[in-house]
Amino acid sequence: MGLEMFSLKDRVAIVTGAGRGIGQATALGLSQAGAKIVVAARTESEIEETASQIRAQGGQAMAVSTDVVNEASINNLVKMTLEKFGQIDILVNNAGGVMEPGGALTGFTMTTSGEAWDSVLRKNLKSAFLCSKAVAKNMIERRRGSIINIGSMSGLHADPPMTAYGIAKAGVIHLTKNLSKELGSYQIRVNCICPGLMGTPRVKNRVKMIEEKDPGFMQKAITLGRLGAISDLVGAMIFFASDASSYVTGEILGINGGFSGYTPPQGPGNW
């Protein structure tokens, strides 16, 4: 088949959390592969900016302000997508976050409030559940589709400084496996990408703090010796969205530079 197996021409993708970061890069990357993009997030100015960038590179895009933990808002997203493009082929459940209400980083079990727990699980896990359920209805009717969930390495191993976040992402991984079984007979594939340490300002600050306690952390923790770039994720997104992965479902792909092999020092305050 050649490179055409990676083409997303005539396909429609919804990307949540697409106003910035991984979601924005995903939306731009899927557009470059030929997909029509529905850019979803709560902040209207950010999603309009992403949609504008897609149009500037010759793609088609629509921005829909969406609260991904509100079923009525998600149903509106699906409705508007179908009215505009007539189908949904790809869903990227990217929306989420590690921050508690008020802006603090999620912490250890004994210091995490019930409110923070609910907020983090709602943003990361409930959002993926609700969006998948709403979008799958059209995919089931058409007997085709690809759902890509964004997990985290924190969902694959204990990460005590971010307990609620890690447990939410572990839930996303398990949701991926369950949905792949439930939807497989309709030829709907469900897979999960688990990023490692990406070079965001928050991660850079955390790595700096860790290296003060554990010199040489980067070389010991990451086989490739560097933090990831958001662009490192785009190829995997296109793979899972396209016919190149037509026989792949229920899989969890770590994109982490080899980070999964690292055993951190134990104790509060360490990784």
DSSP line for the chain: -GGGGG--TT-EEEEETTTSHHHHHHHHHHHHTT-EEEEEES-HHHHHHHHHHHHHTT--EEEEE--TT-HHHHHHHHHHHHHHHS---EEEE----SBPTTSPBP--GGG--HHHHHHHHIIIIIHHHHHHHHHHHHHHHHT-EEEEEE--GGGTS--GGGHHHHHHHHHHHHHHHHHHHHHGGGTEEEEEEEE--B--HHHHHHHHHHHHHSTTHHHHH-TTSS-B-GGGGHHHHHHHHSGGGTT--S-EEEESTTGGG--PPPSTT--
Closest CA to 90 of 245, 198, 240: 240
165: annotated active-site residue: yes
HEC profile of 74-91? HHHHHHHHHHHHCCCCEE
Among all residues, which ones are annotated catalytic? 165
